[in-house]
């Protein structure tokens, strides 16, 4: 069974803090993604990675950066958290040889920035 | 303009009913299409892919209409366990998710 884990389920940070969200997958998947999910807006892609040390911007990368030093781990960094980054953050992974269209999601991190 | 639009619902239906959701997409170059299911406070999971010829998986039928740029999901003989939010996904080199349609199946 594929497992995608995220470092925290709930996180509260102050404006201006640096925030690290960690995601680990245990199935040797090549592709990994970070989304945020907001009511009425659905899931929006922040960044994705097709390989170690590779990263691509998604639709809303501003205010975020990512790191993929190892294949199984994909980190999302908020350099200076702002209140408009309060959201549910979902990490996903995908195998190139897996079921077509299947991304496996972690349980999510609900981040509140005060 | 959103890439993917869905009616947020909720659709409230009795057990055993047939219910259908539509989803429209804006870019005709979209390559592939999927339905995901998201239970309350859970992560999304792939329900089924949508093929041009239409496809069926048990009580679920998905169809694609490229000319009108919409995809549909039909659920027959609804079960209480079908209650969830259904996310339409369009692949245009990356995934674009709709905001979801909420389904409540009542006893």
Tell me the pLDDT tens digit for each residue of B32-50.
999 999 999 999 999 999 9
- Coil/strand/helix, residue A84: helix
For residue B45, what is the enclosing H or E element? strand B44-50
Q: In what order do the strands lie in the sheet with B19-25?
A: B4-6, B19-25, B70-75, B60-65, B55-57
Residue among B32, B45, B97 whose CB faces A43 most closely = B97
- Asked if residue A8 lies in contact with residue A21, where contact means CB atoms within 8 angstroms, the answer is yes
The answer to whether residue A97 neighbours chain B at the CB level (below 8 Å) is no
**Environment class of A72 (CB within 10 Å of its CB; exposed 0-12, middle 13-18, buried 19+):** middle
Contact B100 A42 (CB under 8 A): yes
Strand stretches in chain A, DSSP E: 4-6, 10-13, 19-25, 31-38, 42-49, 56-57, 64-70, 73-78, 87-94, 104-105, 109-113
Determine contact: B26 vs chain A, CB below 8 A: no
- Please compute the mean of the pLDDT values over residues B58-80 and round it to a whole number: 96
In the predicted structure, residue B30 carries a pLDDT above the cut 90: no
Strand, coil or helix: A90: strand
pLDDT value of position A4: 96
Residue B51 has a pLDDT of 84
**B58-73 average pLDDT score:** 95
Token code pair at residue B4? 């993917």
Distance CA B29, CA B38 (A): 26
pLDDT in tens, chain A (114 residues): 769 999 999 999 999 999 999 999 998 999 999 999 998 888 999 999 999 999 999 999 999 999 999 999 999 999 999 999 999 999 999 988 777 788 999 999 999 999
Chain B positions touching A40 (Cβ under 8 A) are 8, 99
Question: What is the rounded average pLDDT for all residues in chain B?
Answer: 94
Chain A residues with CB inside 8 Å of B96's CB? 45
Is the CB of B89 inside 8 Å of chain A's CB atoms?
yes
Contacts 24+ apart (CB under 8 A), A58-65: A58/A33, A58/A34, A58/B94, A59/B94, A60/A36, A64/A34
Cis bond leading into B10, ω under 30°? Answer: yes
Q: How far apart are CA B83 and CA A6, in angstroms?
A: 26
Q: Distance between CA A103 and CA A92 in Å, rounded?
A: 6
Q: Across the interface, do B43 and A45 touch by the CB < 8 Å criterion? A: no
């Amino acid at each position: 069974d594929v497992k995608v884990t995220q470092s925290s389920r709930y996180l509260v940070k102050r404006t201006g803090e640096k925030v690290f969200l960690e995601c680990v997958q245990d199935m040797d998947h090549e592709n990994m993604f970070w989304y945020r999910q907001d009511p009425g807006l659905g899931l929006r892609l922040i960044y994705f990675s097709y390989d170690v040390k590779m990263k691509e911007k998604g639709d809303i990368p501003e205010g975020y950066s990512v790191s993929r030093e190892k294949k199984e781990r994909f980190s999302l960094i908020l350099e200076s958290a702002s209140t408009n980054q309060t959201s549910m953050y979902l990490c996903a992974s995908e195998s190139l040889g897996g079921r077509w269209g299947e991304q496996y999601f972690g349980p999510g991190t609900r981040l509140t920035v005060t | 303009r959103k890439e993917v639009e869905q009616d947020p619902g909720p659709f409230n239906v009795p057990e055993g009913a047939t219910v259908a959701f539509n989803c429209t997409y804006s870019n005709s170059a979209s390559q592939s299409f999927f339905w995901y299911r998201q239970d309350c406070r859970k992560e999304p999971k792939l329900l089924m892919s949508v093929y041009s010829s239409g496809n069926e998986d048990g009580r679920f039928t998905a169809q694609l209409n490229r000319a009108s740029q919409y995809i549909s999901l039909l659920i027959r003989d609804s079960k209480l366990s079908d209650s969830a939010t259904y996310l339409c996904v369009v692949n245009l080199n990356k995934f674009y998710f709709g905001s979801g349609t909420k389904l409540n199946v009542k006893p």
